[in-house]
């Protein structure tokens, strides 16, 4: 019997549990498959490469820190936290403006230009002789990197069907894990083969290599990154394919219309449920600081001693945490497959959150078994799949309203960076790594994981997926966050008193 996709309106054949892993919707014509292949090759490949470079450049400072930067620049306090803080401040400042610019300027020029500029700021870090220099360069790198993630979400949401976005978002989000992985591999290789080559320490070479990787990606973007379907036709697409692209979105009532930025537009966006609901959801996720998982494991391995000597070599300290990215890919593939089958993001986020919750409880209690702790670090990478689910959900929920999609995405990410900046600075300071006992960082994270996975009260439209909700109802999310935080702090206080 033939059934209809609720999110696309297209007829399709009934699919069984064995057909979770598919790239095209059943019933897709050869012409549309060829179009999707082009979209994947040019759009998905470009956004993945951009995100790969972004996280390569975002992670390199941690790898440099444990590979000689700390000693050469005489870093004794929480400078590594401040490197992240200044970078995040740049993201917070630039995010909304750089993303709103996508609706005014052509994305095919705007996004690659930002990639090229931030790559130069990354390059200049190889000359740093003090923490202050790194602070300034990280700030400006963050400003120009701020449009990368929302810009990629914006482009993906402008061309793909709702049913196609979750799979592409999974691949896209994994490219961030790939960037983190390869940053470790690059630093380990440079430490082994190029340390002090031409008078430069290996940690300085990593910034040069990252620059050499970023520039070709920017050039690729100038040639391959498209604008919206109703804008100019990209050179790699026929007019018939562009019309098909527009029709694909029209079938879902997601066809982007032309509009200008004015007070009425801002009012419409600021009173939308999407803006507030997803900002709170993403903010709760980032309060756990799970994005720093690879850094925590790197610092953990560096802290291990045997008879007063480091237990692991610099190469191992850079290599072992990269497995987190591999496990993260597994989480992403599984969650995307289940999402494609069930269309239930809340349920999947709940399960992923429980795995993250278990890991944080272990971190809080701690264990002296190195192998067990490393396994828990790898398990905690379930965090990465949550981000992919929320971003794909937002893209679909905003439909063809490109301004709502652009501003909601950028503000969501800016809010996330804002709360993560404060959380990692005060709850997870480098000087207290890897256990963070003084600040009770992991207990703080546990509280926010509970908020993240327990936010679905019956009236909360975000978690129920009721896309017709009005703005006042979305305030239930904020109330839920406050209640969850109060509960977690109360439990922690009682536990401290009993101890």
Q: Where do we find the tokens 């799970």?
A: 290
- pLDDT (tens digit, 9 = 90+) per residue, 362-403? 999 999 999 999 999 999 999 988 888 888 788 777 776 778
Name residues whose C-beta falls within 8 Å of residue 257's C-beta, 6 or more positions apart in sequence: 400, 402
Q: What is the pLDDT of residue 5?
A: 43
Position 458 confidence tier, pLDDT thresholds 50, 70, 90: very low
pLDDT of 95:
83
- What distance, in Å, lies between the first and last C-alpha atoms of the chain? 62
Compare 228 and 39 and report the one with higher pLDDT: 39
d(CA 405, CA 153) in angstroms, rounded, equals 9
Whether 103 has a pLDDT exceeding 70, the answer reads yes
Q: Across the chain, what does the average pLDDT equal?
A: 82
> What is the reported pLDDT for 4?
42
Candidates 472, 458, 271; CA nearest to 346 is: 458
* Mean of pLDDT values over 158-182: 81
Neighbours of 217 (CB within 10 A): 21
pLDDT of 491 higher than 80: no
- Distance between CA 331 and CA 20 in Å, rounded? 15
**Among 248, 480, 273, which Cα is nearest to 397's?**
273
CATH 3.40.718.10 corresponds to the domain 28-254+262-498: no
Determine how many CB atoms are found less than 10 A away from the CB of residue 266: 12
**Of the candidates 449, 433, 434, 458, the residue with the CA atom closest to the CA atom of residue 484:** 449
Q: How many helices (H) and strands (E) does the chain have?
A: 22, 4
pLDDT above 90 as % of the chain: 42
User: How far is Cα 153 from Cα 480, in angstroms, rounded to an integer?
Assistant: 27
- The whole-number pLDDT of residue 258 equals 56
Residue with the larger pLDDT of the pair 20 and 153:
153
Per the DSSP assignment, residues forming a β-bridge with 4 are 11
> What are the boundaries of each domain within the chain?
28-254+262-498
pLDDT tens for each residue of 302-331: 999 998 899 999 999 999 999 998 898 889
For residue 498, the model assigns a pLDDT of 55
pLDDT tens for 245-278 read 989 988 877 665 555 667 888 888 888 878 888 8
* CB 33 within 8 Å of CB 89: no
What pLDDT is attached to residue 8?
40
Model confidence at 469, pLDDT cuts 50, 70, 90, reads very low
Cβ count within 10 A of residue 105: 14
- Tokens 């971190």 locate to 363
CA dist., res. 80 & res. 74, Å (int): 12
């Amino acid at each position: 019997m033939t059934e209809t996709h609720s999110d696309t309106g297209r007829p399709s054949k009934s699919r069984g549990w064995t057909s979770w892993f598919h790239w095209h919707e059943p019933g897709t014509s050869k012409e549309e498959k060829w179009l999707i292949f082009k979209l994947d090759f040019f759009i998905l490949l470009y956004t993945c490469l951009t995100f790969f470079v972004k996280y390569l450049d975002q992670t390199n400072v941690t790898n440099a820190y444990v590979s000689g930067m700390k000693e050469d620049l005489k870093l004794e306090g929480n400078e590594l936290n401040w490197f992240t803080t200044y970078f995040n401040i740049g993201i917070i400042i630039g995010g909304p403006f750089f993303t709103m610019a996508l609706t005014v300027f052509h994305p095919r020029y705007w996004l690659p230009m930002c990639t090229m500029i931030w790559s130069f700021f990354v390059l200049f870090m190889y000359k740093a002789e003090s923490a202050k220099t790194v602070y300034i360069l990280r700030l400006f790198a963050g400003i120009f990197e701020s449009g990368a993630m929302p810009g990629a979400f914006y482009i993906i949401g402008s061309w793909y069907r709702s049913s196609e976005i979750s799979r592409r978002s999974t691949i896209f989000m994994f490219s961030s894990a790939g960037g983190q992985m390869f940053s470790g591999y690059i630093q380990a290789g440079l430490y082994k083969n190029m340390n002090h080559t031409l008078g430069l320490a290996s940690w300085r070479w990593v910034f040069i290599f990252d620059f050499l990787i970023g520039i070709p990606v920017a050039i690729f973007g100038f040639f391959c990154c498209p604008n919206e379907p109703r804008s100019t036709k990209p050179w790699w697409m026929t007019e018939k394919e562009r019309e098909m692209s527009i029709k694909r979105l029209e079938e879902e009532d997601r066809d982007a219309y032309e509009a200008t930025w004015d007070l009425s537009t801002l009012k419409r966006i600021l009173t939308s449920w999407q803006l507030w609901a997803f900002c709170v959801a993403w903010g709760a996720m980032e309060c756990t600081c799970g994005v720093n998982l690879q850094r925590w494991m790197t610092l953990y391995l560096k802290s291990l001693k045997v008879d007063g000597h480091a237990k692991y070599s610099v190469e191992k300290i850079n290599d072992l945490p990269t497995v987190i990215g591999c496990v993260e890919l597994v989480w992403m593939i599984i969650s995307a497959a289940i999402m494609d089958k069930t269309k239930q993001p809340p349920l999947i986020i709940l399960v992923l959150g429980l795995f993250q919750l278990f890991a944080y409880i272990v971190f809080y209690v701690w264990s002296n078994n190195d192998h067990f702790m490393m396994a828990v670090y790898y398990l905690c990478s379930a965090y990465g799949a949550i981000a992919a689910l929320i971003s794909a959900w937002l893209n679909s929920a905003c439909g063809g309203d490109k301004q709502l999609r652009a501003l909601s995405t950028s503000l969501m990410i800016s809010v996330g960076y804002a709360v993560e900046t404060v959380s990692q600075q005060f709850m997870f300071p480098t000087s207290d790594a890897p256990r963070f006992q003084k600040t009770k960082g992991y207990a703080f994270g546990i509280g926010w994981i509970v908020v993240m996975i327990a936010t679905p009260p019956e009236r909360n439209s975000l978690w129920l997926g009721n896309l017709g909700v009005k703005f006042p109802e979305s305030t239930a999310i904020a109330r839920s966050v406050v209640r969850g935080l109060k509960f977690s702090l109360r439990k922690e206080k009682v536990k401290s008193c009993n101890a």
